[in-house]
Amino acid sequence: MKNFIKEKMPDNDLISLYTTMVKIRMFEEYVADLLFAGKIKCPTHLYIGEEAIATGVCANLQKDDYAFGTYRSHGFYIAKGGSLGSLMSELLGKETGCSRGRGGSMHVVAPEIGILGTTAIVGGIIPLAVGSAMAVKMQNNDRVVVSFFGDGATDEGVFYESINFASLKKLPIIFICENNHYSTHLPLRYRQPADNIYQRVKSFKIPAVRIDGNDATVTYQTTKDAIEHVKSKQGPFFIECNTYRWRAHVGPWEDIDVGFRKKKEVEKWIKKCPIKKLERMLMKKGVLNIKKRDEILSKLEEEITQADDFARQSPYPEKSEIEKDVYRN
């Protein structure tokens, strides 16, 4: 891997990373409030605490690059350029949602920006991403495929089958493991004999690294290097991002009350906030100040409010269309 000197990254790109992360955080916190109020009914898995990963990865992607994700999908949808109005509409089950109100939070689809699907099946999205990477290679185009998944997916056999096939065929795919150390309520240490996911991947002759997933600049540069590797037709690349989700596995709570993780553990990771980490660096460099930060927050607050208004004013799907789009015509 190349050494990354943060000072060499253009100021505008740094501000863009910061803005995207804050956008994801503010949207997710707004959604959390709606969940507490019972205004969102579909199961919702929040991305709060992991914003640097989707932001750093997607900042390198082109609009027509393909991305696949899990049920914790809001972050990479927003980072890839998805509409807040369409996402909010989907959460409320409206016709104007990105999946036309049929998918909810866990099944986000936006082919117009390269998001071909997300799924609640642990590990289930990985072979779909690999299949798309195979199609990209057969079509001989310049697209890159990215597959986001959690550490829980590495418990599944299909994960190993997929990376084996991707390596064998030298497919243009980047695997992004968002290792937040929990699969639902079960810690990694109770599921796997060693905390060495990226090292296991190396046995498939795939370059694999572990990075600080709470550092957007490191995630950005690592992904940039991975894309160079993939586009030079050397095959897949694997990035394990060390991170932590602040909220419950599903819903707006903290999961402290159910007894499987301690308050001190959560507080420890909150101190490693990816947004505060980048904000401090930008303030120190003079790239960001309090006035500019407040301007960013104000614009994002307005954008989220407009997205909520759009969603609330949008219609629900017609009952007559209940069987529409279930099967391909």
> What pLDDT does 321 receive?
83
Whether pLDDT at 329 is above 80 = no
> What pLDDT does 254 receive?
84
CB-based contacts of 258, cutoff 8 Å, min separation 6 = 185
Is residue 224 a contact partner of residue 174, using CB atoms and an 8 Å limit? Answer: no
- The residue-averaged pLDDT of 105-114 equals 95
- Greatest extent of the chain over all pairs of C-alpha atoms, in Å: 58
> What pLDDT does 144 receive?
98
Selecting from 3.40.50.970, 3.40.630.40, 3.20.20.105, 3.30.420.10, what CATH number does the domain 6-316 have?
Answer: 3.40.50.970
The DSSP letter of residue 232 is: T
The DSSP letter of residue 173 is: E
User: Directed axis angle between helix 51-58 and helix 216-231, to 10°?
Assistant: 40
> What pLDDT does 185 receive?
87
In tens, the pLDDT along 157-204 reads: 999 999 999 999 999 999 999 999 999 888 999 999 989 999 999 999
Cβ neighbour number for residue 120 with a 10 Å cutoff: 17
Domain ranges of the chain: 6-316
The DSSP letter of residue 110 is: B
Average pLDDT, the chain: 94
Is residue 313 a contact partner of residue 94, using CB atoms and an 8 Å limit? Answer: no
Whether pLDDT at 113 is above 80 = yes
Sign of the Cα pseudo-torsion (157, 160, 163, 164, in order)? negative
Angle ∠(73,71,78) on CA atoms, nearest 5: 10
> What pLDDT does 106 receive?
94
